[in-house]
């Protein structure tokens, strides 16, 4: 059996909906406290998601996992509008985060500015 045969999940623990990031934020953004964004592509989707989340739920925060400004995740516009939040508990997570050799990703917590 190859990976092409796994085109859909037949049994899941919870309901799974197929939608893009912006549609998910528009549908559920006002019901969440935290959005987890991991290794977003280098286009403007991460920025648009950050901005849209702020529009529908300005108290929600974003946990971002990826490379920083100028890296190979998100884009400069995202980092121009992402303000990191200092959080003592989250700092312990950051300090224990393990990355692959040669990859410069890190977890960050923040919000739209």
CB 78 within 8 A of CB 21: no
Range of the domain at 82: 3-112
The pLDDT value recorded for residue 15 is 84
Reported confidence tier of residue 4, pLDDT bands at 50, 70, 90: low
Domains of the chain: total: 1
CA 23 – CA 61 distance, rounded (Å): 18
40-97 pLDDT tens trace: 999 999 999 999 999 999 999 999 999 999 999 999 999 999 999 999 999 998 999 9
Listing DSSP states for 83-106 in one string gives EE---HHHHHHHHH----TT--EE
Burial call 8-26: b when 16+ CB within 10 Å, e when fewer = eeeeeeeeeeeeebeebbe
**Whole-model pTM?**
0.85
């Amino acid at each position: 059996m190859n990976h092409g045969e796994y085109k859909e999940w037949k049994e899941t623990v919870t309901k799974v909906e197929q939608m893009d990031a912006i549609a998910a934020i528009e549908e559920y953004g006002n019901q969440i406290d935290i959005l987890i964004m991991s290794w977003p592509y280098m286009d403007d989707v991460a920025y648009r998601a950050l901005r849209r989340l702020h529009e529908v739920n300005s108290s929600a925060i974003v946990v971002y996992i990826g490379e920083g400004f100028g890296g190979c995740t998100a884009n400069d516009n995202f980092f121009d509008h992402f303000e990191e939040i200092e959080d003592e508990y989250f700092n312990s997570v950051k300090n224990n985060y393990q990355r692959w050799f040669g990859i410069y990703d890190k977890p960050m917590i923040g919000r739209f500015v």
